[in-house]
C-alpha cells in the first residue's frame, strides 16, 4: 500500500498531481440553463500539412494563380470538389472552412512545436520555464466551465497511462494528458467505474492541503510555488469530485465501451483501433458534460502507425515518412495521405455522433467547433510561414466562415494574419475581449505592419 510520502513524491510533484488537478483554479459551474455551452476540439497532427495538399483541385484558372502565388481570395466549397483525403467530410461540407495563409513563426516549428503552437511562444523544446502563458484551449475552457475544465488526449510517442501533455493551464505549468483510450476512460469516468477511488482521492487531497503535506514534500523555491498553486485549487477539485459522484447516474448513461484489446495500454491494438476507441471516449466525455474543450494530439513523429490501410503489415514511422521513405512499397506521399484520411475518419465520427444528440433547438454539433491543424507548420520540417487549418463548425458558430475556402494575405504582406490573430478571434468571438493573444511575429514587426487583434472578416 502506498504511503503518504510516496504518494507525494510520485503525485504532487509529477503527473499524478496533474491528474488530480485537471484545470488549475477551474471552478466547476453548472451549464447555463438558458443556453448551451460552446465546445472546442483541437486536433494536432505532426509532420505538417502542405498547403498544396489542402488546396481545391478544380479551382478556376484565376483562383489557381491566386492560390499558387499565395494571394488572398475566397471560394465557395459547395462549388468545388474536396481533395481526396477530405472527401470523408463531403456530406458535412457546409460546416467546413479551409483556412490558408496563417503563419506561426512565433511558435516553435521544425519537427515539434510542443506547447508553443497552442500558446504562440517559443517553447525551447518543451522547457518548463519557457511556457509563457496559458494556452488557448485552457483560455476557452475558462469561458465555458465544466467538471474537468479541459481534457487532453494524446498518442504522442506511443506512450500509455497519464503523462506530460502539451497544453498549459498557467505559465511555467505543464498539463497532463491521457495517452491511451483505456486510461482516458478509467480516469474521466472514474465516478462511475470506481466511485470508491474518487472518495479516496478526496481524502488524499485533504491531506495534501494540510501543513503536513507541505512539510513532507520537502520542496522549496520555484517548485514550492508550483506546489502551492496545486494546493490552492484543491477545494475546487474536491467540489468537482463530489459533484461527479452526485451526478454519476447521469454520467453512467454515457459510459463508453471499448474493446478488451485496449486494456493495459492497448499495445496489441492497431492505430485505427486506437483512434476509434479514443474518439469514442472523447465524444462520450462531451455528451456526458464532463468537458467542453478537448485537445487531441492524434500523432507525433514518435507515434508508431500500425494497421494502416495499404500498410497493414508495416510499422510505419512518421519521421522517415516525412523524409519520403516508402513503407511496404507504398510511396511516402500516398501513406501520408492515408494517415490524413484516418484522421478525417475520426473527425467525421465526432460530427455524426454529436449530430445525433439533441440540444436546444438543434444538436450538440451546432455548438461545436473542431480544428484540425499541423502542430509544426507547413511541411515535415516546418518553418511556420504557413499553418493551414481545416475547421468544422456547427450552425451556432460565433464566426462567419462556414462553407468557404479562405486564403489570407501571405506572411510579410499588409493584412497578413498569424496564429495569434486566429486565437484572438476565437477568444473575442466567445466573450474574452483580449486585444491580442500570443507573441507578435518578428518579420511583421520589422516591417512595422499591424498584426494585433482578431481577423475581422471572420467575426460574425
Q: For the segment 169-204, what is each residue's pLDDT rounded down to a tens digit?
A: 999 999 999 999 999 999 999 999 998 888 777 666
pLDDT band at 418, cuts 50/70/90?
Answer: very high
> What pLDDT is stored for residue 209 in this prediction?
60
Q: What is the mean pLDDT of the chain?
A: 88
| Exposure of 38 in the CB half-sphere (CA atoms within 13 A) | 21
Position 226 pLDDT exceeds 60: no
Mean pLDDT in residue range 59-67: 96
CA distance 177 to 243: 22
Angle of helix 195-208 relative to helix 234-246, nearest 10 degrees, comes to 160
Q: Where are the beta strands (DSSP E) in 234-352?
A: 293-297, 304-308, 311-317
In this prediction the pTM is 0.90
Please state which of the four CATH numbers 3.30.70, 3.40.50, 1.10.10, 3.40.720 is assigned to the domain occupying 38-194+265-458.
3.40.720
Position 159 pLDDT exceeds 80: yes
Of 142 and 29, the one with more pLDDT: 142
pLDDT band at 454, cuts 50/70/90?
Answer: very high
Mean pLDDT in residue range 395-419: 97
In degrees and rounded to multiples of 5, residue 304 shows phi and psi of -75, 130
Position 327 pLDDT exceeds 90: yes
Grid coordinates standing for 60? 478556376
Candidates 420, 353, 431, 360; CA nearest to 392 is: 353
> What pLDDT is stored for residue 233 in this prediction?
65
Instruction: Please report the sign of the dihedral spanned by the C-alpha atoms of residue 449, residue 450, residue 455, residue 460.
Output: negative
pLDDT band at 31, cuts 50/70/90?
Answer: very low
Of 243 and 344, the one with more pLDDT: 344
Mean pLDDT in residue range 137-153: 96
Candidates 92, 103, 96, 114; CA nearest to 46 is: 114
> What pLDDT is stored for residue 313 in this prediction?
95
> What pLDDT is stored for residue 237 in this prediction?
78
Mean pLDDT in residue range 406-430: 97
Mean pLDDT in residue range 207-223: 54
- Percent of the residues in the chain that have a pLDDT greater than 90, as a whole number: 79
> What pLDDT is stored for residue 443 in this prediction?
87
> What pLDDT is stored for residue 243 in this prediction?
84
- Name the residue ranges covered by the structural domains of the chain: 38-194+265-458
Of 4 and 384, the one with more pLDDT: 384
Q: Name residues whose C-beta falls within 8 Å of residue 244's C-beta, 6 or more positions apart in sequence.
A: 147, 190, 191, 198, 251
Q: Which residue has the cell 486564403?
A: 407
Residues 418 and 451: beta-carbon distance below 8 Å: yes
Amino acid at each position: 500500500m502506498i504511503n503518504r510520502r510516496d504518494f507525494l513524491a510520485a503525485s504532487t510533484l509529477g503527473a499524478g498531481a496533474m491528474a488530480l488537478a485537471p484545470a488549475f483554479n477551474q471552478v466547476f459551474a453548472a451549464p447555463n440553463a438558458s443556453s448551451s455551452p460552446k465546445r472546442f476540439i483541437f486536433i494536432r497532427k505532426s509532420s505538417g500539412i502542405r498547403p498544396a495538399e489542402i488546396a481545391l483541385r478544380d479551382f478556376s484558372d484565376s483562383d489557381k494563380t491566386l492560390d499558387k502565388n499565395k494571394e488572398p481570395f475566397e471560394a465557395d466549397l459547395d462549388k468545388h470538389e474536396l481533395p481526396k483525403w477530405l472527401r470523408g467530410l463531403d456530406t458535412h461540407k457546409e460546416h467546413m472552412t479551409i483556412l490558408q495563409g496563417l503563419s506561426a513563426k512565433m511558435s516553435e516549428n521544425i519537427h515539434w512545436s510542443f506547447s508553443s503552437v497552442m500558446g504562440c511562444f517559443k517553447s525551447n523544446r518543451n522547457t518548463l520555464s519557457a511556457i509563457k502563458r496559458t494556452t488557448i484551449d485552457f483560455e476557452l475552457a475558462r469561458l465555458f466551465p465544466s467538471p474537468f475544465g479541459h481534457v487532453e488526449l494524446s498518442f504522442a510517442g506511443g506512450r500509455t497511462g497519464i503523462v506530460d501533455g502539451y497544453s498549459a493551464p498557467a505559465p511555467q505549468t505543464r498539463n497532463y494528458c491521457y495517452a491511451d483510450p483505456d486510461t482516458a476512460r478509467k480516469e474521466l469516468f472514474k465516478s462511475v467505474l470506481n466511485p470508491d477511488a474518487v472518495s479516496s482521492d478526496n481524502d488524499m487531497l485533504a491531506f495534501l492541503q494540510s501543513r503536513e503535506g507541505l512539510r513532507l514534500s520537502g520542496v522549496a523555491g520555484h517548485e514550492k510555488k508550483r506546489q502551492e498553486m496545486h494546493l490552492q485549487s484543491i477545494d475546487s477539485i474536491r467540489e468537482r469530485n463530489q459533484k461527479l459522484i452526485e451526478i454519476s447516474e447521469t454520467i453512467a448513461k454515457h459510459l463508453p465501451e471499448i474493446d478488451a484489446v485496449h486494456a493495459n495500454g492497448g499495445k496489441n491494438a492497431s492505430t485505427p483501433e486506437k483512434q476509434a476507441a479514443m474518439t469514442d471516449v472523447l465524444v462520450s466525455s462531451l455528451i456526458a458534460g464532463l468537458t467542453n474543450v478537448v485537445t487531441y494530439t492524434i500523432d507525433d513523429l514518435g507515434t508508431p502507425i500500425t494497421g494502416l490501410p495499404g500498410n497493414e503489415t508495416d510499422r510505419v514511422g512518421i519521421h522517415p515518412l516525412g523524409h519520403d521513405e516508402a513503407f511496404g512499397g507504398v510511396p511516402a506521399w500516398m501513406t501520408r495521405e492515408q494517415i490524413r484520411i484516418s484522421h478525417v475518419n475520426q473527425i467525421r465520427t465526432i460530427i455524426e455522433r454529436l449530430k445525433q444528440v439533441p440540444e436546444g433547438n438543434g444538436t450538440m454539433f451546432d455548438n461545436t467547433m473542431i480544428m484540425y491543424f499541423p502542430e509544426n507548420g507547413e511541411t515535415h520540417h516546418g518553418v511556420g510561414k504557413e499553418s493551414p487549418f481545416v475547421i468544422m463548425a456547427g450552425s451556432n458558430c460565433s464566426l462567419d466562415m462556414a462553407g468557404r475556402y479562405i486564403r489570407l494575405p501571405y506572411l510579410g504582406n499588409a493584412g497578413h494574419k498569424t496564429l495569434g490573430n486566429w486565437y484572438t478571434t476565437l477568444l473575442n468571438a466567445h466573450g474574452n475581449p483580449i486585444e491580442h493573444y500570443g507573441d507578435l511575429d518578428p518579420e511583421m514587426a520589422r516591417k512595422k505592419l499591424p498584426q494585433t487583434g482578431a481577423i475581422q472578416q471572420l467575426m460574425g
